[in-house]
Amino acid sequence: MSHRERTLELIDTQSGGDVSRIVTAGVEPLPGATVLDKARYLQRDGDGLRRLLLSEPYGDPAMSVDLIVEPNHPEAQAGYIIMEAMGYPLYSGSNTICTATALLQSGAIPMQEGLQHVVLESPAGLARITALVTDGRVRSVTTRGEPAYVADEGLSVDVPHYGTVEFDLVWSGAYYAMIDASAHGFCLVAEEQIALTAFGDAFVRAARPGLREDHPALGALGPLPFAHFMGPVEDVGRGRFTARSATYVHPGVLCRSPTGTGTSARLALMARHGLIRPGESLETISPRGNRFVGTAGEPTQVGSYAALHSTITGSARLMAHSRLTVDLDDPLVDDSDLENVLSRPAPPLARPMAGVDTSS
């Protein structure tokens, strides 16, 4: 039997401390007209790629993976599928910031000095991005994804060992359970990370049964993936607010960043209660001290829900360009739904990335 070996091309990035591995080559073109179709195919028939890159010895569950694919929308320069420990979120702020930065700084999308507009297609729809480029480096990325809405309020669940936990349910690219951290004795500082992870795990396991799992336009989304712990909001003047926050990703991951979609969810909840207006901003601060800035946009509608557009601003850093060798004969590699999506042979690094329109 011949030795079965495949190659993946990766760009490792981080935004707010959260690592995103951008897969630029080594995966076969996925069936499906839209990026959402391709994501659902991968989830159903090629989840081995996610498990490989987020599990030892090839990766770590705290990372994320973004696979570059062909976009469907004519405005988009590239599509990307987001993979995390919890599965396949339809949108992510930190992953979008990382993907845009990697595509620009690698030259897959030609970079221009000053403010540069980029459109990427996520499974949830278009992410409209403004990158600030100076001296050949992407200094910051502002991304506007899908509008967020409050799906339900005033919910509660009895969590073993923790008692009754009250929360609101907000969609902002995935469903978030929004929890008042101070009600459970948390200040959202670095020393609490282990305790927050344990609390988040127990909460999500208890809260999942009976919660809605659909979206008016995107359909079934799967069980609750995220819990967002909210610290008190401080008004720092001139329409600017700050708040500590922490996002738990099930199972077992506490984000290093305050998360873009978590920040968007908080903005939607604040807008629902008249606590923030269009043009005003909220800077969220993670337990590790990393920061994103969310800016409230105009109100809109998603199905029957009042929703809010918003933007998230952050920055990403490139950490590594690598060529990963995947030995399908390694007993630590589950190839049951992996081999069918990997290219053979892998495209050379010099070729253009699949799914990227370089004409813009």
DSSP state of 189: -
| Spatial CB neighbours of 273, under 8 Å, sequence gap ≥ 6 | none
Alpha-carbon distance 357 to 360, whole Å? 7
What CA–CA distance (Å, rounded) separates 185 from 165? 12
- Between the alpha carbon of residue 54 and those of residues 32, 51, 86, 194, the distances in Å are 24, 5, 11, 20
Beta strands in the chain (DSSP E): 5-15, 18-25, 64-69, 78-83, 114-122, 125-134, 137-144, 148-159, 163-171, 175-180, 214-215, 219-220, 226-237, 240-249, 253-254, 281-285, 291-302, 305-314, 317-327
Tell me which residues are annotated as active site: 92
